[in-house]
Amino acid sequence: MADKRLAVLGGPALDIVARVDFFPPPDGNVVATSVEEMPGGNGGNLAVALARLGHEVRLLGAVGEDEAGRFLLARLEEAGVRTDACLLRPDERSYRCLVAVAPSGERRIIALPGAQLLRSPDELPHQALQGIDGLLLAASRTEVALAAIAEARRRRGVLVGYVPGDVRWPEGPEAVLRIAARADLLIVNRVEAAALTGFDDPRLAMEWLMGRVPGSVAITLGAEGVLVGKRGRFREVPAFPVEDVRDTTGAGDAFAAGMFTGMLFRFPGGQAARLGAAVAALKLRRGGTGAQAGLPSLEEALALL
């Protein structure tokens, strides 16, 4: 399979990962057993996972002009992601996330806002959207995302995917749905699906989303697998078994990169989701700490598939 030329709209973040023996109750505290700084961020994670799968990837985002920003750009380049389209914002801090991870692999995240996203369509590097095979949108500002999709659609056959990330949507769920209505693929987890639809039951959420999103929809359910649907019909796709999970950070982004890759190669929806599940499972099985640790190659994921 030949690699594809891709653009990822979204930004990196510095993850400050603390391992804890337990999550404290309200007003309680816990002492971390270890603390590490590592690259993360919805957009950065997707870009690195796609590069690891063999694609030529360019990230369209921003960092602050600080030590964290320089660290993030260097790590992206080391992972094979082109950063020449990323903006460096003077006198601003880069986006950071405090991530607490329990022995079970569960996590709690506190975001510390900073430079991460493109802020207006005027900041879009249009040359980076020319001649691409696919555009994958991470958390993005609505007008920037819509402008990027319009630019990418000037070339016939460009695949557009959307992974809006967690429920911190400053422009509201309606803005997420505006973007999703113009994408070929929407990927959310069960918490995000509930926030978008008002239904805690993922199956009811899937039916609601399929009535409003013309493309394919995937709702990830962790160890329970994923729901995949389009035009009123959906199916359950099982997850690959993973024992002794130490850190689930970035597993959803790994799944999204794998499923998007499957669709780029014109796999049927269910098979594309299985490829995504394979990428996520291999990442988790390797047990590395952080969102970008343990990501597999395409050959490794296809072998598991």
The answer to whether 11 touches 88, Cβ cutoff 8 Å, is no
Which domains are delineated in the chain?
5-12+41-90+116-298 (3.40.1190.20)
Is residue 210 within 8 A of residue 217, CB to CB? The reply is yes
pLDDT greater than 60 at residue 1? no
Q: What is the pLDDT of the chain when averaged over all its residues?
A: 93
The single-letter code of the amino acid at 114 is G
For residue 121, give both structure tokens: 């369509």
C-alpha span between 59 and 81 (Å, rounded): 7
Residue-level pLDDT at 293: 85
Note the pLDDT of residue 171.
Answer: 87
d(CA 102, CA 13): 21
Strand (E) or helix (H) holding 230: strand 226-230
Distance CA 93, CA 90 (A): 9
Q: pLDDT tens digits for 287-300?
A: 776 778 889 999 99
pTM (2 d.p.): 0.93
| Contact predicate 221/202, CB 8 Å | yes
As a whole number, mean pLDDT of residues 50-61 equals 97
Instruction: Report the pLDDT averaged over residues 95-106.
Output: 89
